[in-house]
């Protein structure tokens, strides 16, 4: 194997780090149920009977993939990617299915809980698992023809990076509380999360699709990809923006109009996440609109060219190392 | 024990059906655009519904690219005046 072959091959550290992030995501909350008594219950895959066996099976596939990857890089990465894609899709399907069901038919029972008296949200584990598994999948896909010819190696388009940061903030905040309603006497408290609003299940689905398309636009460097992602993101940001504005205005209105003597909700508080959503959605909207113009689509950042003889610096190794350090720190903190 | 085993089979089975389903759809669309089978299989299996959209996008880009190549004249601008006579005509 020549030195040039080694330079062309994808590096193995980042795929392994991403696979470990997906496995870590399996132990983070996938579903959050907030009852009107102010309690919050979280569920993940490990809470299910047989769930740990599923995680161990995926871990075994990742281990096999990493071992094969030492000898046959792309084959190993593909095995790892297929394994974690299974876990990623499990997270996505479970969360989306339940959110969709609840946002359309709120009167269902899940795990003995009457969801008419509670709100249901996806947990942070879904975001972590899906984003990491999609990133690994795109890393594999960009190595095969004809994607190879469309994948940038030394230049990255700026727009996907500029949209993904606020869009990930939006999806993370969609699963957290936007508004809290409470009563002084009985201690009853309702926490209204972004994804517990009517019809929000479909919106969450569209946001996930937009995130995936932007990750795709980062890998497939063509204006068509950016245009499709921009179009969907503009629509999604308008809808989420309207949700946030209406809830903010409604909360304010309720706070002003409902006097404290009424026995129903006496305390209305707008949570900071709602403001994060408003700002993020505004940024997402303006950047996505810019993405519809070809002049903005061609703005790129250069990662730097490798010169022969110089010490090689791999961005993927740097990112992989950072992810591994974060995982190690979270593990140590959990043990302590 | 039995519940755990059944849940394990159900979860993996459902995910397997999901992955195979999207893989199949991507293969159908990929074959329409004459994309390599290995690529569309991988894209559909790992990216699911997103892979389906990506396959369509790449298919459109590839057909556009193929169309541009087909539209090019056989002789380039530098060949003007250098046409050879066909010895078989």
Model confidence, pTM: 0.75
Assess whether pLDDT exceeds 80 at residue A186: no
pLDDT of residue A282: 92
Pair of tokens at residue A159 = 């727009």
Nearest to A86 among B19, B35, B50 (CB): B19
Q: Which chain A residues are closer than 8 Å to B43 by Cβ?
A: 141, 147
Q: What is the pLDDT of residue A283?
A: 92
pLDDT at A110: 52
Q: Categorise residue A60: left if φ over 0, alpha if ψ from -120 to 50, beta otherwise.
A: alpha
Q: Which of B15, B43, B57 sits opposite A89 (nearest CB)?
A: B15
Q: Is B56 on the interface with A (CB under 8 A)?
A: no
Q: What is the ipTM of this complex?
A: 0.73
Q: Which of A90-94, A241-245, B39-43, B44-48 has the lowest mean pLDDT?
A: A90-94
pLDDT cut 90: percent of chain A above it: 7
The C-alpha torsion from A244 through A245 and A251 to A255, rounded to 10°, is: 150
Torsion region of B81: left, alpha or beta (phi above 0 gives left; psi -120 to 50 gives alpha): left
pLDDT, tens digit, 9 for 90 and up, residues A188-221 = 566 777 777 777 777 888 888 888 888 878 777 7
Residues 186-215 on A with a CB inside 8 Å of B are: 209, 212-213
User: Has residue A22 got a pLDDT over 80?
Assistant: yes
Whether residues B50 and A150 touch (CB distance < 8 A) is answered with no
Distance separating alpha carbons of residues A138 and A151, to the nearest angstrom: 10
Residue B49's pLDDT is what? Answer: 84
| Pair A278, A264: CB distance under 8 Å | no
Q: What is the mean pLDDT of chain B?
A: 78
Residues A177 and A273 sit within 8 Å (Cβ to Cβ): yes
Question: Model confidence at A60, in pLDDT bands (50, 70, 90)?
Answer: very high
Average confidence (pLDDT) over A13-37:
82
Task: Among A91, A133, A146, A232, pick the best mutation site for testing chain B contact (most B Cβ within 10 A).
Answer: A146
What's residue A1's pLDDT?
44
Does the pLDDT at position A289 exceed 80?
yes
Candidates A50, A137, A225; nearest CB to B47: A137
What pLDDT score was predicted for residue A256? 62
| Tokens 């559909």 found at | B44
Give the integer Cα–Cα distance in Å for B17 and A300. Answer: 39
Interval A249-279: pLDDT, tens: 877 666 665 555 455 556 677 788 888 888 9
- A56 vs A313: which has the higher pLDDT: A56
Contact, A125 vs A28, CB < 8 A?
Answer: yes
Q: Which residues pair with A182 in a beta bridge?
A: A189, A267
Measure the CA–CA gap between A15 and A255, rounded to whole angstroms.
49
Angle at which helices A158-174 and A272-290 pack, to 10 degrees?
150
pLDDT reported for residue A238: 92
- Average pLDDT (B72-77) is 57
Q: How many angstroms away from the CA of A175 is the closest CA of chain B?
A: 22
Q: What is the pLDDT of residue A31?
A: 78
């Amino acid at each position: 194997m020549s030195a040039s072959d080694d330079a062309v091959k994808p590096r193995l550290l980042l795929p392994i780090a991403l696979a470990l992030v997906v496995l870590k995501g399996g132990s983070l909350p996938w579903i959050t149920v907030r009852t009107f008594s102010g309690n919050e219950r979280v569920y993940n895959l490990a809470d299910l009977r047989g769930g740990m066996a599923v995680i161990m099976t995926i871990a075994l596939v990742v281990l096999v993939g990493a071992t094969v990857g030492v000898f046959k890089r792309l084959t190993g990465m593909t095995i790892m990617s297929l394994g974690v894609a299974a876990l990623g899709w499990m997270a996505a399907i479970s969360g989306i299915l339940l959110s969709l069901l609840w946002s359309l038919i709120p009167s269902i029972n899940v795990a003995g809980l009457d969801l008419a008296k509670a709100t249901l949200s996806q947990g942070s584990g879904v975001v972590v698992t899906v984003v990491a598994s999609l990133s690994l999948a795109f890393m594999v896909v960009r190595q095969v023809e004809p994607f190879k010819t469309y994948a940038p190696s030394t230049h990255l388009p700026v727009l996907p990076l500029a949209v993904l940061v606020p869009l990930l903030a939006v999806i993370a905040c969609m699963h957290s509380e936007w508004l809290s309603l409470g009563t002084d006497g009985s201690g009853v408290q309702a926490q209204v999360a972004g994804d517990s609003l009517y019809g929000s299940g479909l919106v969450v689905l569209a946001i996930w699709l937009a995130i995936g398309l932007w990750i795709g636009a980062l890998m497939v460097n063509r204006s068509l990809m950016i245009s499709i992602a921009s179009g969907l993101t503009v629509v999604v940001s308008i809808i989420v923006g309207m949700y946030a504005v209406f809830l903010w205005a409604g909360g304010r209105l309720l706070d002003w109009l409902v006097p404290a003597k009424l026995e129903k909700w006496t305390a209305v508080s707008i949570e900071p996440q709602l403001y994060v959503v408003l700002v993020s959605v505004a940024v997402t909207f303006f950047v996505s609109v810019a993405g519809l113009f070809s002049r903005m689509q061609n703005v790129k950042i250069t990662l730097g060219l490798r010169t022969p003889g110089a010490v090689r610096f791999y961005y993927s190794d740097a990112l992989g190392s950072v992810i591994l350090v974060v995982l190690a720190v979270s593990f140590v903190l959990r043990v302590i | 024990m039995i519940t755990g085993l059944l849940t394990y089979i159900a979860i993996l089975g459902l995910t397997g059906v999901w992955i195979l389903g999207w893989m199949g759809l991507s293969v159908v669309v990929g074959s329409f655009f004459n994309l390599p089978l290995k690529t569309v299989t991988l894209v559909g299996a790992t990216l699911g519904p997103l892979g389906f959209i990506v396959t369509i996008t790449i298919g459109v880009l590839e057909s556009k690219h193929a169309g541009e190549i087909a539209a090019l004249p056989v002789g380039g601008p530098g060949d003007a005046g250098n046409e050879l006579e066909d010895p078989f005509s």
